Chain A
Amino acid sequence: MPKRTDIHSILVLGAGPIVIGQACEFDYSGSQAVKALKREGYRIVLVNSNPATIMTDPELADATYVEPLTPEIVSQIIARERPDALLPTVGGQTALNLAVSLASDGVLERYGIELIGASLRAMQLAEDRQLFKEAMERIGLECPRSGLATTLEEARAVAEAIGRFPLLIRPSFTLGGSGGGMAENEGDFVEMVEHGLRLSPVGSVLIEESVLGWKEFELEVMRDGNDNFVVVCSIENLDPMGIHTGDSITVAPAQTLTDKEYQRLRDQARRVMSAVGVETGGSNVQFAVDPATGRVLVIEMNPRVSRSSALASKATGFPIAKIAALLAVGYTLDELQNDITRETVAAFEPSLDYVVVKLPRWAFEKFPGVDPTLGPQMKSVGEAMAIGRTFKEAFNKGFRSLEIGLSGWHGHAPARTRPRAEIEKLLRLPNRDRLPAVHDALWQEWPEDAICQATGFDPWFVRQLAQIVALEREIHASDLSTLSPGLLRKAKRYGLSDSRIAELLGDVSQATAVRSLRTRYGILPTYARVDTCAAEFEAYTPYLYATYEEEDEAAPADTPKVIILGGGPNRIGQGIEFDYCCCHAAFALQEMGYQAIMVNCNPETVSTDYDTSDRLYFEPLTLEDVLNIVEVESGIRLEAGKKFPANTSLHGVIVQFGGQTPLNLARGLAQAGVPILGTSPDAIDLAEDRGRFGALLAELDIPCPANGIAYNPAEALAIARQIGYPVVVRPSYVLGGRAMAIVDNEKALTDYMNEATAAAEGRAILIDQFLEDAYEVDVDAICDGEQVVIGGVMQHIEEAGIHSGDSACVLPPYKVSYYHLSIIRDYTTRLGLALNVRGLMNVQYAIKDDVVYVLEVNPRASRTVPFVSKATGVPLARIATQVMAGRTLAELGWTAEPQVDGFFVKEAVLPFIKFPEADTVLGPEMRSTGEVMGHAPRFGQAFAKAQMAAGSTLPQAGGVLVTVNDFDKGAALKIARDLWRLGFELYGTPGTAQFLTRAGLPVTVLAKAVAGEQAYTTLDAMRDGKIQMIINTPLGPESRADGARIRRLATRLDIPLFTTLSAAQAAVSGIRILREKALRVRSLQEHYAAGRPAPTSRQQVP
């Protein structure tokens, strides 16, 4: 069937901010869908609150709304845009839930909007576990025994009917399985059911028979309107059932099924799709298979593009989201082309002649106190994917792609002697150290079946791992001079990195020697193509991975080209913002006539879409792997000390855009002679090296906080004494404020220094004067060596001491004087020129007591680049790329700081809902996973929108709990007074209440929630629904427990919580303005067209 002509405009819903369970895979899927549908001539209206996405680039959709994804706001957009259809399947669970809500509320019917891609019934059926189970039973498929409960009593009855623990508890309609868990006993059970009932937006939980230890498989399937059906990819989880698939190591294609077993799953997936009623599009169906009998249970299905479909798309080269979007408008699979082979159609099933391994990356170190045990609720923040010809190769490549300090898959350093009991524990309990423990066990020659038994892994995988360890032993027994070419070649074919081989030979620093040795032996990587068809047809799309085989298919072109290094797996502090920049670099290079070559290993991203760049290397971002790519693309064999010829087609490598990952490689690349485009590695070093940078600031006469570098506690104490407390301490070269702290006395400093070495790996500890109560300002700018042009100046809403990544910020600044801004602009210009920056730079300032201090300069893309670009309409990363390729800003015609119309607020989104044990108070260590943007003519509105988009809508009435530390009480008074005037009821803990009452405010006193307290406490009031907003600043240690309890409960109950007074003040502005004027929506395109100059910051904020 050709495409539908009865619809003209389509509303596409995005997934909103990056959160655990919903990451940049939905930017990938949304961008694909928007591009594909626009190319078909439809008018696309897009809503997504996340500014760091490619999909919200103004040239993608016709009308781009970076607005909160709430039914009210989207209804407003619908009323303005009147789309004919709504595509809810490419924006994750957020979009699906929103579409269900719009359909149930009658909004879609009122405006005559058709749901395409998934029907309301299909969405409800797939999400409501009871309905789903009934539907499966009707078609004769088995699901785990289970029952739904809306009360604890009902839950108990279900548990009794199933008859045994453990039981799986899953709340209905939550993201990434939030609030789910495995109850081992009655006590766990009651707590989890109660928690789940609260979390579920529909107040129900599913209690289910445990299939712990069964094999887990997923099928990524597609269906078109003509009932044509294909399986795009089968995925086997290495971790057995019981661990969320997002936290599981997964392998594609499935390795341990016979054809009979596989085809049975295929048949069942097809029947599931029909029964759920997915008429067109992609779905994911999950199965559990009993390894002893082959019994199959259907676990769940997602009637939409999912994380697994992004993985499947990258694993196979089959663009699921793009095809799903085209099927939704009426095409059938046989009418769509396979982009990779060009001559075949999309109605086929990819055949893989390689193995793909996906590994999750966690961030437990950021959340002390959080239980790192893995279970049915997803906890990982990112993932890496690796492709190899064999499982062993992909597995090792995957571990070095993770960037967790491992040179491949291996155990812990003192592995060989790790106690048996400790290994046993790590094997039994699902956790992130399980695979390293398997390595330890194998190294200690545990029998394979003991490992299978403890982990539940299929024996096939354990044998593969045992083969790796056996080979490693062989290498371990030789040395560099006796290592045979045969053994070395086998090691490379097993995916071992040069570093790992060097490590096994006894000296990790010998990686370069290993490289030279294998080069001498002619053991070089070959590149194979991901071609969807196992080489049956020629592949035109250069989507490549490295392996050690006979034949090389890289076929590099002899045209001018540039390599862009991506950011690797998402982690806190390095996520979609950097991928956004890398994509823009590719676009800019293509516009300039370069071949853009992308290197990355993150399957969730737009950068790893084969049509983002001209050539895609899906490879780990390690020096070895990148040097290999440089060699194959340049045709030059790199040798130490040999100069890189100037006349080669490879003009250089871009390391500025992928965050810390490529920057960490810059020095090694430069040493190998590889040209780095843009700011020189030396200038990067100058900005990052405390001593050199301090000298530069002194020379420029630009103030910075007093600081010093310590290598041991004694030095630290001496420096702190000189600077004065409090001080900020952190290891050098870290990302996202890892292991950063503010300490205010000698004991705390000593403790920190003793602990810090673990995170800092013996590096220097930086100590800075802490500028209390200072305002922080962030500047993104571009320098071409001749001039510096500022892209945007942002003021943080939270005061100094909160990591910039976790702080809300506003563009333009709303409280900074013109005088200070001009100083900031002047410093930025002088710093850019002095550092000889070529490309992007980000400068962080603090203003305290009328002095502007420079906190740091990063001569690279910052986390705020996409936000500034969205607000101003200026594609900073693109311009920076052009500058790096040699153009000047004058030539590009971009010489003046852009003005914006109104205010743009960026708010951070934190993952506390997934980590109920963590304290939610903000600090110097970054913990947010994503961001949203709110924009409006006035600051308060923009702030309110940002809060709404971040999931905590500011209340219009009700009670506010104020509990602040003594230093904040004065400032809190004004906020409390304003809230009271706005009609809110005030509640406070005794100290705060007393202070406010003294000033004449009526405050209800609540007891602190401390152990043994019998009186009515803060927590009781929250549970009773009396509290609609909380202002809580961290208290002294004696009251800390109370504050932490309040904050944790606020997260669970979804009560807006502000842990800084500046944010609370902003919230009050928001509430006030919401009273006066309803929120209005405006697309980015309208915003840019308005093009009025922004109000200068001298104007008072209303």
Chain B
Amino acid sequence: MTALLVLADGTVCEGEPFGAATTQVGEVVFNTSMTGYQEIITDPSYRGQMVVMTAPHVGNTGINSEDVESRQPWLSGFVVRELSPLVSNWRADEDLHTYLARHGIPGISEVDTRALTRRIREHGSMPAALCTDGSKTVAELLRMARGWGGTEGRDLVREVTCRYPYRWEEASDPTWIAAPPPSSTSPHVVAYDFGVKYNILRRLTSHGCRVTVVPAHTSAADALALKPDGIFLSNGPGDPAGVPYAAEAVASLLQHDMPIFGICLGHQILGLALGGRTYKLKFGHHGGNQPVKDLTTGRVQITSQNHNYAVEAGSLPTYVEVTHVNLNDGTVEGLQVRGKPVFSVQYHPEASPGPHDADYLFNRFVRLMERR
């Protein structure tokens, strides 16, 4: 059986199928992380996307029950150069193939992922169709890819957000990351779930927060009714313009003197709520090696990133300050509102996968809440 991946520009990749035997359509992006495929496939931000891993060997350490970023994998397809024929790790519970198959997600291996990455780099992220059950021809797949609606303006968040508010109580396992000094005040954080990664919730908890997770469509009034000490805006899939209700809620939250911290999509939504604009990057940032400079300290952090949209620097009002920039392409990586306890970053301080360099931002958020 041959698996077929057909890109909207006509590129055809033949490979070996793994995971579920099915056909899926989505936007193809590449991720340059060398470790952490498990965290990547369970990151809800990949809803609607197929991920090409640039690391050639994937699946080596299998899947374990601890390193998940949500309750299930979300992406539409997984593209690798070589799938590991065996699992070798002391914590592994099952192999990647079985896990993806169980969740209905198709994968393709033996693909020249470097050539594919170069194509995406040159021509931008694009729709593609992946068939792993032999049921579709190249022409059919091409039609499916070209007919796909794309992510622009689409609300992918509602597909991944929680349905009801819930309390989160799990902290990070100190085996993997040193525990920060406990907070004396244990502030209450209401976290908007636009597709939140568990590790954000774990980090908030580790830094001493009490966390209530609320669905993406929660109104400002409902959020405030929970008597939070701070509001957290999570990461999530797709285009921030697709979730206008979120920006509206944040805009009204901004009227209160409430500490707000946003990550990734949460950062873009905050940007929109502040009157800025967002735009789509050619192929986004997906990886664990993006250098970001904190303009307030001059220090560089190596960050974990996963986004296709970005906040346009010139679109922000003057009372909003750009605090972080990407050293590779100069894009906005962080902002804060002058005179208000409100800030956000485009990258992932919770890492997972990726370096822990930016974990201090959780502490910064806690301090803002303590100061109230």
Contacts and interface: CB of A to CB of B under 8 A. Distances in A.
B35 A257 contact: yes
B220 interface: no
A253 B355 contact: no
Given A349-B355, A463-B84, A463-B86, 18 more contacts: A228-B299, A253-B55, A257-B35, A258-B38, A258-B67, A259-B67, A263-B355, A294-B90, A334-B327, A344-B291, A353-B32, A353-B81, A353-B114, A389-B114, A464-B85, A534-B54, A534-B55, A549-B112
B185 interface: no
Given A256-B60, A258-B67, A347 B300 contact: yes
Nearest to B61: A258
A515 to B, nearest CB: 23
Contacts of B288: 259, 349, 351
Chain A: number of interface residues, binned into ranges: 35 or more
Given A258-B61, A348-B302, A460 B112 contact: no
Nearest to B172: A260
Contacts of A257: 35, 61
Contacts of B299: 226-228
A537 interface: yes
A460 B60 contact: yes
Most chain A beta-carbon contacts within 10 A, residue among B35, B86, B177: B35
A551 B289 contact: no
Nearest to B285: A536
B86 A459 contact: yes
A971 B130 CA distance: 86
Interface of B: 30, 32-36, 38-39, 54-57, 60-61, 64, 66-67, 81-82, 84-86, 88-91, 112-115, 117-118, 121, 175-178, 287-291, 293, 298-300, 302, 327-328, 351-357
Given A257-B61, A259-B33, A349-B288, A467 B85 contact: yes
16 contacts: A226-B300, A258-B64, A258-B67, A258-B89, A259-B38, A259-B39, A262-B36, A267-B178, A294-B90, A294-B91, A344-B327, A349-B289, A351-B55, A534-B287, A537-B121, A551-B118
A261 to B, nearest CB: 8
Contacts of A464: 85
B327 A348 contact: yes
A291 interface: yes
A352 interface: yes
A343 B39 CA distance: 29
A260 B176 contact: yes
A1024 interface: no
A534 B30 CA distance: 10
A352 B287 CA distance: 12
A492 interface: no
A344 B32 CA distance: 15
Given A264-B177, A551-B114, A350 B289 contact: yes
A781 to B, nearest CB: 48
A390 interface: yes
Nearest to A264: B176
Interface in A136-174: 140
Contacts of B85: 463-464, 467
B91 A549 contact: no
A528 B115 CA distance: 9
A453 B15 CA distance: 34
Given A334-B327, A351-B34, A230 B302 contact: yes
A293 B89 CA distance: 10
Contact of B54 (A256, A266, A332, A351): A351
Given A348-B327, A463-B86, A536 B117 contact: yes
Interface string A329-366: 00011100000000111011111111100000000000
A228 B300 contact: yes
A502 to B, nearest CB: 25
A1054 B56 CA distance: 50
Count chain A CB atoms within 10 A of each CB in B56, B88, B91, B328 and give the residue with the most.
B56
A463 B57 CA distance: 13
Please report whether the interface of chain B is mostly helix, strand, loop or mixed according to DSSP: loop
A534 B39 CA distance: 19
Given A256-B89, A258-B64, A534 B32 contact: yes
Contacts of B56: 353-355, 389-390
Contacts of A253: 34, 55
A259 B302 contact: no
Contacts of A553: 118
Q: Which 3 A-B pairs give the minimum distances between C-beta atoms?
A: A259-B36, A259-B353, A534-B54
Contacts of B30: 534-536
Contacts of A355: 56-57
B207 to A, nearest CB: 16
Given A291-B90, A459-B88, A463-B85, A353 B54 contact: yes
A353 B112 contact: no
A334 B177 contact: no
Given A352-B34, A353-B55, A267 B356 contact: yes
Contacts of B118: 535, 551, 553
A255 interface: yes
Contacts of A264: 175-177
A349 B178 CA distance: 22
Nearest to B86: A463
A390 B82 contact: yes
A366 to B, nearest CB: 37
A291 B61 CA distance: 12
A850 interface: no
Contacts of A538: 121
A345 B81 contact: no
A451 to B, nearest CB: 13
A297 to B, nearest CB: 14
Which among B54, B81, B291 has the highest number of chain A CB atoms within 10 Å?
Answer: B291
B90 A537 contact: no
Interface in A367-413: 389-391
A642 B80 CA distance: 41
Given A253-B34, A355-B56, A334 B88 contact: no
A464 B355 CA distance: 28
A348 B88 contact: no
Nearest to A534: B54
B117 A263 contact: no
A533 interface: yes
Interface in A181-227: 226-227
Contacts of A260: 66-67, 176, 352
Contacts of A463: 84-86, 88
Given A334-B291, A348-B328, A535-B54, A258 B121 contact: no
B36 A550 contact: no
B301 to A, nearest CB: 8
Given A349-B302, A389-B56, A534-B117, A258 B35 contact: yes
A390 B118 CA distance: 18
A527 to B, nearest CB: 11
Contacts of A259: 33, 35-36, 38-39, 67, 288, 352-354
B298 A263 contact: no
Contact of B177 (A226, A267, A293, A332): A267
Contacts of A229: 302, 357
A226 B299 CA distance: 7
B81 A389 contact: yes
B121 A535 contact: yes
A619 interface: no
Nearest to B117: A535
Interface string A486-521: 000000000000000000000000000000000000
A1089 interface: no
A603 to B, nearest CB: 19
B15 to A, nearest CB: 11
A323 to B, nearest CB: 13
Contacts of B351: 263
A550 B13 CA distance: 10
A350 to B, nearest CB: 7
A841 to B, nearest CB: 45
